[in-house]
Amino acid sequence: MKTVVPARAAWSRVIREGETLTITDLHGNQAVDFLVYDAHDTAVRYSAPDTVQAQGGIFLTTGSVLMSGEHTPLMTVTADDVGRHDTVGGACSKESNTLRYGHHTWSQHACVDNFLAEGAKHGLGKRDLVSNINWYMNVPVEQDGTLGIVDGISAPGLSLTLRAERDVLVLVSNCPQINNPCNGFDPTPVEMTIEAAETTIGDAR
The residue ranges that bind another protein (CB under 8 A) are: 43, 47-50, 52-53, 56-59, 69-72, 84, 88-91, 93-100, 102-103, 112, 126-132, 139, 141, 143-149
Measured from the CB of residue 66, what is the shortest distance to another protein in angstroms? Answer: 14
End-to-end CA distance of the chain: 23
Measured from the CB of residue 102, what is the shortest distance to another protein in angstroms? Answer: 7
Nearer to another protein, 98 or 199 (CB): 98
Nearer to another protein, 175 or 192 (CB): 175
Distance CA 55, CA 67 (A): 10
Nearer to another protein, 4 or 43 (CB): 43
Nearer to another protein, 116 or 192 (CB): 116
Distance CA 63, CA 79 (A): 8
Closest CA to 112 of 5, 191, 33, 32: 33
Measured from the CB of residue 100, what is the shortest distance to another protein in angstroms? Answer: 6
Nearer to another protein, 107 or 143 (CB): 143
Measured from the CB of residue 69, what is the shortest distance to another protein in angstroms? Answer: 7
Q: How many CB atoms lie within 10 A of CB 153?
A: 15
Nearer to another protein, 124 or 192 (CB): 124
Closest CA to 168 of 1, 65, 16: 16
| Torsion angle of C-alpha atoms 125, 128, 130, 136, degrees rounded to 10 | -70
Measured from the CB of residue 33, what is the shortest distance to another protein in angstroms? Answer: 11
Residue 171 Cα distances to 32, 52, 54, 73, angstroms: 10, 20, 22, 17
Measured from the CB of residue 38, what is the shortest distance to another protein in angstroms? Answer: 12
Q: What is the CA radius of gyration of the chain?
A: 16
